[in-house]
Amino acid sequence: MIDKERKIDTVAVYELPAKDAPLELMLEADPSLEQIRTYLSDAVLYQAEADGETVGIAALVELPGQALELVNIAVVEAHRGKRIGRRLIEHILAAAKERNYKKIIVKTGTSGIGQLNFYQKLGFRMVRINPDYFVRSYPDPIIEYDIVLRDQVELEYQLFTFEQCRMAVASYWETFVAENPEYADRPHTAWSFGYGEYVPNYLLALVKNGTKTGTSSAFDLYELEGEEVPRAGDLSVVTYGNGMPGCIIETTEVRIQPFDLIGEREAALEGEGDLSLAYWREVHEHFFQREYSEMGLPFSWNIPVVFEQFKVVYNRDIVLPGQDGL
């Protein structure tokens, strides 16, 4: 499927032996060295590296039932805000899917507003609360955002197989057609925006709230990948990063024009950032450079861009299986 958005970072992530664990960095996420040592020997570590420097670390332990727990994740202070934590999580999710794990859980403080925002944007769901966990487990009070940290919240990311996603999309389409029979004989495709987990969720949210009504893709890559160029009237089930359906859109207009002729109007329809053309060019130049490089092609501002406008025709979320609630 042609990817229809986005800037990607180039931080390298790889597994690290436990004996090489950067304890000083891990202590920034877990202030107890004693706690870290309880899981370190059994943990799988992933290290993020940029320009030969360690910039992030994540540790996971295996649980019964083909599950993993993310027990530590930290990013070097000077490199925070550069998507490194996101890159680590997305790498972990991809590796877990390849190894047929069913879920990943992470436990964090209920006062960690930033952490809760971060994990939910990556598709994690809150499933339970452990009252007074931090009071019982740590001798000294922990203060976050001027709140005394007491309770622990557990979040979970379900890893769905290709077949589970296919069946969920098919069921979603059937429900849509049952409520809108005029679409019964119309073909449709299913895809998500961009790469990874965060970007599909972020852009789908913009579509669902009406901010994003346009998207761009590289014309040249459709022929190279054997796909048809979008046309007005196309119907698409747009999915979250985990493959579950989020809405259905109908393409209303398609035009092909050079990258450098995309204007302010198109940038605003994309609904991202500050809606400016400058932002659109910065994000999409990086994205298209990456795509063209992967295909062994040169990028220039003259490349033909497929710009689509669309409308949402179905905007319901499904109840995911296995969510047992707080």
Q: What are 227-248's pLDDT values in tens digits?
A: 999 999 999 999 999 999 999 9
Residue 240 is predicted with a pLDDT of 96
Q: What's CA 250's distance to the chain center, in Å?
A: 23
Confidence label for 1 from pLDDT (cuts 50, 70 and 90): very low
Q: Tell me the mean pLDDT in the region 256-279.
A: 96
Residue 222 is predicted with a pLDDT of 92
Domains identified in the chain and CATH numbers: 12-158 (3.40.630.30), 164-314 (3.10.400.10)
Residue in 170, 152, 148 with CA at minimum distance from that of residue 243:
170
Q: Tell me the mean pLDDT in the region 213-218.
A: 96
Residue 156 is predicted with a pLDDT of 96
Residue 194 is predicted with a pLDDT of 85
Q: Has residue 94 got a pLDDT over 60? A: yes
Question: pTM score, two decimals?
Answer: 0.86
Contact status, residue 68 vs residue 62, Cβ threshold 8 Å: yes
Residue 5 is predicted with a pLDDT of 41
